[in-house]
Copies of this chain bind each other. A is one copy, B any other.
Amino acid sequence: MKTYPKKRIDIMVEAPLMKRVLELLDEHEAGGYTVVPALAGKGNDGSWHRDGLVGRVGAVVQIFCIVDESRVDEILDPLFALVSRQIGVVTVSDVSVIRSEHF
């Protein structure tokens, strides 16, 4: 089956910032994204676990977004500006998709 190369951007970011990241993706017309809840984690800023938490602080969500290679930089630059002061990690990787009109 014919597939098309795209990029997958994975953003791990603390939950209170999620809305901002999604707005940023919307602004740059990322086409689509999916948010996956994370349960626990550890990074430079210490470790955390969702259990028992009531507020959004102390949790990290994972947002991923499949985009065309040509748009990666356009998204990464403002994303970096947004995430750099916060708790978070961003990765980019290669994927293929089966419907290219989608992205």
Which A residues are closer than 8 A to B by beta carbons?
A: 1, 3, 6, 8, 10, 12, 22, 26, 31-44, 60-62, 66, 72-73, 76-77, 80, 84, 89-99, 102
B contact residues around A95 at 8 Å (CB): 10, 91-93
Contact at B41–A32, with CB atoms within 8 Å?
yes
Interface of A is mostly: strand
A40→B43 CA distance, assembly (Å): 24
Q: Which B residue's beta carbon lies closest to that of A75?
A: B1
CA–CA, A3 and B38, complex, Å: 24
Q: A3-B76, A91-B97 are in contact. List 8 more A-B contacts (CB 8 A).
A: A1-B72, A1-B80, A32-B41, A33-B41, A35-B41, A89-B99, A92-B98, A93-B96
